[in-house]
Amino acid sequence: MNMLKRMWLDHTLKRALRQHRCRVDCGIRGLRGKVKLTLERNVKLHGVKVFSKDLRIGAFTDIVSNTELRDVSSIGRYCSIGTNCVLGQNRKQHPMDWLSTNVALIDTRLQAMPSPPADWDVTPTTIGHDVWVGRDVIIMEGITIGTGAVIGAQSLVTRDVPPYAVVAGSPAKMIRYRFDEPLREQLLASRWWEHDHSELAQLPTEDPAAFLAALAKLPPKPISDATVQVSTSPLRIKR
């Protein structure tokens, strides 16, 4: 892609993102390969590289610089993801039972085969809502991170993480839950992340139990489901 075309595409992308109060600092060059990226409102991607073939990111999610979004299909609303993370790391990228773990040799061999090995398909990772991922975390492909979970810095996540669990370590292990079970169930049942952001900010978020009581008294006012979609093959921006 020549420089003038990239500048024009970046300008078009920024204009579309601005209307949805989103930002993608790397612009078009941050989308690697055949990518379809769907963003809800107020999503912030600070120097993030996107390799996912089809990824949707929920409203008000913030992902910090140098993070790679690989085999991941969805990231929920209100997530906070730290710097230098890898989400959806392919377990088969460096197969230790092959002759060599070198990517160049593996890719060349795959191209020469009539079809990939039966176990070569990758299952995307999914991230729930209100998930906090600390810096330097690796989450393997095929993992489900439950809503409200917290992943400690420098963790390697190889198993599913339940909603509102706090995990850390390499491999990551359960530390505790953020809340007791009844409150966890009430928070999940409330689906508070579907409510209008401006209304949520007026409620006592510092006290989850009081927040739920106040939320129950409000008439439903869902958050906007408007999105902006960027595809690289063919290259287009859809609002």
Domains of the chain: 32-218 (2.160.10.10)
Q: Rounded to an integer, what distance in angstroms lies between the CA atom of residue 34 and that of residue 46?
A: 20
Task: Determine the pLDDT at residue 8.
Answer: 64
Annotated catalytic residue 94: yes
Task: Determine the pLDDT at residue 232.
Answer: 79
Q: Rounded to an integer, what distance in angstroms lies between the CA atom of residue 16 and that of residue 219?
A: 31
Amino acid residing at 223:
I
Among the listed residues 46, 94, 129, 197, the single catalytic one is: 94
Would you tell me the crossing angle of helices 208-216 and 181-190 to the nearest 10 degrees? 40
Task: Determine the pLDDT at residue 205.
Answer: 96
Q: 3-state secondary structure string, 2-45?
A: CHHHHHHHHHHHHHHHHHCCCEECCHHHHECCCCEEEEECCCEE
Give the angle subtended at the CA of 17 by the CAs of 4 and 123, to the nearest 5°.
95
Task: Determine the pLDDT at residue 54.
Answer: 94
Task: Determine the pLDDT at residue 229.
Answer: 87
Q: For each successive 10 residues of the chain (239 residues), what is the average pLDDT? A: 64 75 77 88 93 95 95 98 96 86 90 85 95 98 98 98 99 98 98 94 96 92 83 73
Question: Is the peptide bond between 95 and the residue preceding it cis, with omega within 30 degrees of 0?
Answer: no
DSSP letters along 116-163, please? --TT---PPEEE-SS-EE-TT-EEETT-EEPTT-EE-TT-EE-S-B-T
The pTM assigned to this predicted structure is 0.89
Task: Determine the pLDDT at residue 3.
Answer: 64
In three-state secondary structure terms, 230 is strand
